[in-house]
């Protein structure tokens, strides 16, 4: 074997997977995992740990995998992460742990993500659960939202002995893990449901169908229902649209809607009562991970799919792996292209998207070169469906109903990075509700930080 290269991971073949919703990556088996783990040089001053938002002791768990002690490896990971099967699949490892791996200086880094995934799946298949707290603190914490931030915060607090209840607005727990990320990247029954079961096995209660700010307010949770502290992990919020003509035509969807129909409501399955528009030719506007998810979903529902993005490939915010997978599956990338109008027929249905060519100018505030329109270069792509994947703006439901909770100029909740403390006593926050749309692992990191903050707050109260 070549120690400079990762042990390759098995995947479903592109042509086959483009027609189904089964998971793309098949993961390592034990032999492959042990072989990959053996590449780790067990650095004294491990850089990978510094790259991990939840500081998993990576060399320690990889060492256990190398020895074939998978259960021990799971124990090490569980000390730091409540959702390893999820993170092993959706974390941007290339810019975190693996990005810092010393092995990666010369050759390829250790495949930390795939090893984490293997360990978590092994634990799940063999009924290994994280250890619950033995001592109870006798204090109640409410966690708002059951996405990655909420689950992590709840899991950590439960392990410390707190009595934790998660309130979820939808009918199912998991947040973006169930409504946003598609089945073919993150299986719902096999992976997400089991991780949630693990969090519940720590003693965490989950009440679905409760919308904080509508069904009950934060003040009421603290005053009437006896919660000593609250963590807000309510997620990203309202989808953005471009504000161009034709956006209310039939056949224009937000990526949130399209993905929620397919993922949460299972509309990809013909048997689901929730409908989804199966387009013939679909344009997905945007270049992030959510855009890739929407595009690859539309492809699997039978459409020819175009990604329409105003900058060039280099600036695509999506993970390289996702772009690579999308291309393999046959997604067409119309780069340096920006929509100016959505065209519709007399009945109000989309029948085209008018775009203009762009070129890159001087760098803008984000450091990326600003796209500039090329005069007179308008053209039309024939499509019957347009999916807008332009990010989100914060949902005001909580901030507008909670006295003394400060928000910033973007209407995101203000919380300190170290402990997630907000302007309101006993209230902590983290994840997309604070940062705006980001990644699963950053939300988990924030949930973890807030759990520490809440523990400190309640211990000194």
Partner 1 sequence: MYKIVEAKELVPNIYMMVVEAPRVAKKCNPGQFLIVRTDETSERIPLTICDYDREAGTVTIVFQTIGASTKVMADLKTGDSFHDVVGPLGKASELCDTPIDELKKKNILFVAGGVGTAPVYPQVKWLSERGIMADAIVGSKNKDLLIMEDEMSKVSNLYVTTDDGSYGRSGMVTKVIEDLVAEEKKYDLCVAIGPMIMMKFVAKLTKELGIPTIVSMNPIMVDGTGMCGACRVTVGDEIKFACVDGPEFDGHLINFDEAMKRQQLYKTEEGRKMLELTEGDTHHGGCGNCN
Contacts with partner 1, residue ranges (CB under 8 A)? 169-171, 179, 208-211, 214-216, 237-239, 241, 247-248, 250-251, 253-254, 256-257, 260-261, 265-266, 271-277, 347-348, 395-397
Closest to partner 1 by CB, 330 vs 396, is: 396
The pairing of strands 140-144 and 229-232 is parallel
Share in percent of the chain as helix, strand, coil (round to 5): 35, 20, 45
- State the minimum distance, in angstroms, from the CB of residue 111 to partner 1: 34
Q: What is the DSSP string of 361-429?
A: EEE-TTSSEEEEE-TT--EEE--SEEEE---EE--TTTGGGSTT--B-TTSPBP--TTT-B-SSTTEEE
Q: What is the DSSP string of 327-345?
A: HHHT-EEE-SEEEEEEEE-
- State the minimum distance, in angstroms, from the CB of residue 274 to partner 1: 5
Print the SS3 string covering 116-167: HHHHHHHHHHCCCCCCCCCCCCCCEEEEECCCHHHHHHHHHHHHHCCEEEEE
- State the minimum distance, in angstroms, from the CB of residue 256 to partner 1: 5
Closest to partner 1 by CB, 42 vs 274, is: 274
- State the minimum distance, in angstroms, from the CB of residue 251 to partner 1: 8
- State the minimum distance, in angstroms, from the CB of residue 210 to partner 1: 6
Place of tokens 């502290």: 229
Of 411, 426, 417, the closest CA to residue 461 belongs to 426
Closest to partner 1 by CB, 72 vs 190, is: 190
Cβ atoms within 10 Å of 248's Cβ, excluding its own: 10
Cα separation of the two ends of the chain: 57
Is the separation of the CB atoms in 244 and 342 below 8 Å?
Answer: yes
Is the separation of the CB atoms in 54 and 40 below 8 Å?
Answer: no
Sequence-distant (6+) residues with CB within 8 A of 273 are: none
Task: Name the 3-class secondary structure at 259.
Answer: helix
Closest to partner 1 by CB, 273 vs 376, is: 273
Report the distance separating Cα 158 and Cα 135, nearest Å: 10
Closest to partner 1 by CB, 241 vs 379, is: 241
- State the minimum distance, in angstroms, from the CB of residue 343 to partner 1: 15
Number of H helices, E strands in the chain: 17, 18
- State the minimum distance, in angstroms, from the CB of residue 212 to partner 1: 10
Closest to partner 1 by CB, 25 vs 210, is: 210
Joined together, the tokens standing for residue 36 give 């990959």
- State the minimum distance, in angstroms, from the CB of residue 131 to partner 1: 31
Closest to partner 1 by CB, 252 vs 427, is: 252
Closest to partner 1 by CB, 146 vs 260, is: 260
- State the minimum distance, in angstroms, from the CB of residue 247 to partner 1: 7
Closest to partner 1 by CB, 78 vs 254, is: 254
């Amino acid at each position: 074997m070549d120690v400079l290269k990762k042990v390759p991971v098995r995947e479903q073949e592109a042509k086959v997977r483009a027609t189904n919703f089964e998971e793309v990556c098949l993961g390592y088996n034990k032999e492959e995992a042990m072989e990959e783990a053996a590449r780790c040089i067990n650095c004294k001053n491990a850089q990978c740990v510094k790259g991990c938002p939840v500081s998993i002791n990576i060399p320690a768990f990889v060492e256990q995998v190398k020895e074939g002690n998978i259960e021990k490896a799971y124990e090490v990971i569980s000390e730091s992460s409540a959702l390893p099967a999820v993170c092993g699949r959706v974390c941007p490892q290339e810019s975190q742990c693996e990005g810092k791996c010393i092995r990666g200086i010369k050759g390829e880094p250790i495949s930390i993500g795939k090893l984490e995934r293997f360990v978590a799946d092994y634990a799940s298949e063999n009924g290994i659960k994280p250890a619950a707290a033995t001592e109870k603190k006798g204090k109640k914490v409410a966690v708002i939202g059951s996405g990655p931030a909420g689950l992590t915060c709840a899991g950590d607090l439960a392990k410390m002995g707190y009595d934790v209840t998660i309130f979820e607005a939808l009918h199912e727990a998991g947040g973006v893990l169930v409504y946003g990320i598609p089945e073919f990247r993150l299986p719902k029954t096999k992976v997400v449901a089991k991780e949630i079961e693990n969090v519940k096995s720590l003693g965490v209660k989950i009440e679905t169908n409760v919308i904080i700010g509508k069904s009950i307010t934060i003040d009421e949770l603290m005053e009437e229902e006896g919660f000593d502290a609250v963590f807000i992990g309510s997620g990203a919020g309202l989808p953005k649209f471009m504000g161009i003509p034709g956006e209310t035509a039939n056949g224009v969807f937000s990526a949130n809607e399209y993905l929620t129909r397919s993922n949460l409501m299972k509309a990809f399955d013909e048997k689901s009562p929730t409908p989804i528009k199966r387009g013939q030719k679909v344009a997905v506007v945007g270049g992030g991970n959510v855009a890739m998810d929407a595009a690859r979903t539309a492809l699997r529902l039978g459409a020819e799919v175009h990604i329409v993005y105003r900058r060039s490939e280099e600036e695509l915010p999506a993970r390289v792996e996702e772009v690579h997978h999308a291309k393999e599956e046959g997604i067409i990338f119309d780069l340096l292209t920006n929509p100016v109008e959505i065209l519709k027929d007399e009945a109000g249905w989309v029948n085209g998207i008018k775009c203009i060519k762009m070129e890159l100018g001087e760098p803008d505030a984000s450091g990326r070169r600003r796209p500039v329109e090329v005069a007179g270069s308008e053209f039309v792509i024939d499509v019957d469906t347009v999916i807008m994947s332009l990010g989100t703006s914060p949902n005001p439901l909580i901030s507008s109903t909670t006295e003394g909770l400060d928000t910033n100029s973007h209407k995101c909740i203000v919380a300190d990075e170290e402990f997630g403390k907000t302007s309101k006593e006993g209230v902590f926050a983290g994840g997309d509700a604070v940062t705006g749309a980001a990644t699963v692992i950053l939300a988990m990191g924030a949930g973890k930080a807030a759990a520490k903050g809440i523990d400190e707050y309640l211990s000194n109260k």
